A and B are shown apart, each in its own frame.
Chain A
Amino acid sequence: MNHTEQLTYREAMREAIREAMQQDPSVFLMGEDVGHYGGCYAVSKGLLQEFGESRIVDTPLSESGFVGAGIGAAMGGMRPIVEVMTVNFSLLALDQIVNNAATLRHMSGGQLGVPLVIRMATGSGKQLAAQHSHSLENWYAHVPGIKVLAPATIADARYMLAMALVDPDPVLIFEHVMLYNRKEAVPKADDCPAMDQAVVRQQGSDITLVSYGGSLFKTLAAAEALTEQKISAEVIDLRSLRPLDTQTLFSSVNKTHRLLVVDEGWRTGSLAGEICALVAEHCFWALDAPPQRVCSQEVPIPYPKHLEIAATPQVEHIVTTAKQIVYR
């Protein structure tokens, strides 16, 4: 593939799956509608024709069953990629992810491992209402024994899967639904940082804006607006929600002395809250203002467009809050 080629997020993810399957015969993709339908978000479109039914496996609507089967298959020497259609449906597989995938290595005293990748769509923005708009990444990031990734850029969509597949432990990949159609040039694989590293997407000196996944581009847009108002914002893309790259986070806050976290999860019990707590614990004396959060409002996500927008983080919220933090 020519590295200057433009790909959508969807195509980048598909390319990543294709490459993994070409390179390793133990990799297979399993999930609802991944084969004949081509994937709910068309990520796996065409892969059935290329790899056949034994490696692109359509499953019945049995989230717990096929996620658990993925766990067993991983223990049995395969490298499954399990697609759970959306994070909303992953709640039906919570038992398998939290009680089995996350615990087996530890409760077996280190004898077993679950080298499994679970991909799922997440987030709001398509007017899908209260049961199809969750951002529950932080629920999973709460649990020791699993790793949680949130690729936001096309490059990360293209290259993080391969890193997740060589990892010996279960890795969950969250793909924000509003990112699938974004298009960018794909850099070379060598330029992609390790999957557990946060990346400074924009350098700045007045305030640190921390974000991930679907909120990253809103945050970058806010940073641009702030620049026009002579506020220099540094933007960190977490990329990995567990483990958290605290080093990148702390060194940025120690430089800017101010923190704003943008997170589409609900404020109460959010990952944003955890990041604020970490910064308060480790960078308290470097802070010039209280850390703040822009999160989703405490309401199930409503259907009408204007209310969906009002419920979730938007560029203007980020700009307004950032200006308050820098006292302007």
Chain B
Amino acid sequence: MSKVYDYLDERLSISELKKFAGKKTVPLHKYSFWYYWGGISLLCFLIQLVTGILLIIYYKPGPDAYNSVRSLTYDVDFGWLIRSAHSWSATIFLVSVFVHMFSVYFMKAYRKPREFGWWSGMALLILGLLFGFSGYLLPMDQLSFVATKVGLAIPENIPLVGHTIANLMRGGLEVSEITVQRFFAWHAVVLPLLYLPLLMFHLFLVQKHGNAIPPSEEDVPMEKRKSIPFFPNFILKDLAMWLVTLNAIALVASLFPPDLGKVTDPLGPAPAGVHPEWYFMSSFETLKLIGKVIPGMLGEAAGITIFTLGLVLWCLVPFFDTSSPKGRNGRYATYFGIFCLGVLLVTTLLGYVAG
């Protein structure tokens, strides 16, 4: 065994890696639980990658999309499970990414020198949402067809370029087989090509700067602060958390596999209770609320402008709340975070309650 190790060590410098990992530590405090959420997101992404590759083997984009998903779900052995695991890991992925983002925000982990970690994380979140949007249409049943039609009506209202963007995504004036082809290309090729290098960059930054401590821990004297070695302590705990997550995904994926609705009928009525996926519910409901105050195209344009501004402010927070431990700006940033979290939760709930 040691000969194998020596062989690999000479060529891959495993000892140096071990030495580096051994020196690295992770802070230990009452908020340490939130450090696991980045790892959970990563696990969910890996599950999607593997199950996505398995789905591609049977999936046929274009006119045969619906039939291929039907065959995959009902004829192919364990196809239903792979599809269900892909869908549920996507949901849990986005939940964990949101939790990770807010925990990073409230721990002020966007401050110097971690600004690029924050920005790359935001870009990963946006790409994650695009993964969700593009993947939703792929079964091409009536529900996904109508939901995509409604979803693509939103960018259409962007002043000047909206119409062109929507047509480019649709591949024409209407959602059709060509749209499925394009969405598949985005979902399985373009987005992964953008996502993977960005993820590597994000992980590199996490390794370089380590875990940030929350403001409450900054008051604790250095000699009283606790930490654990990254390797093996934190890695093995992360592994245990992965096992817990894997159980949760297996539980929901096997008990609640996603339905396949009726085949798309462009002239048919929208299925009862059609609404966007939960991660778009907040923006959908907010647009509806703004539409009630400012009706028509103007309202939708105002809504999109407010979203864009909100997102820009959210991304630029490292410039506003700099590294000062207890500044006024830090307090304001926290209030802004609580406000955004509140809006997100309230409008999402409102969307489901109001139907």
Do A and B interact?
Answer: no
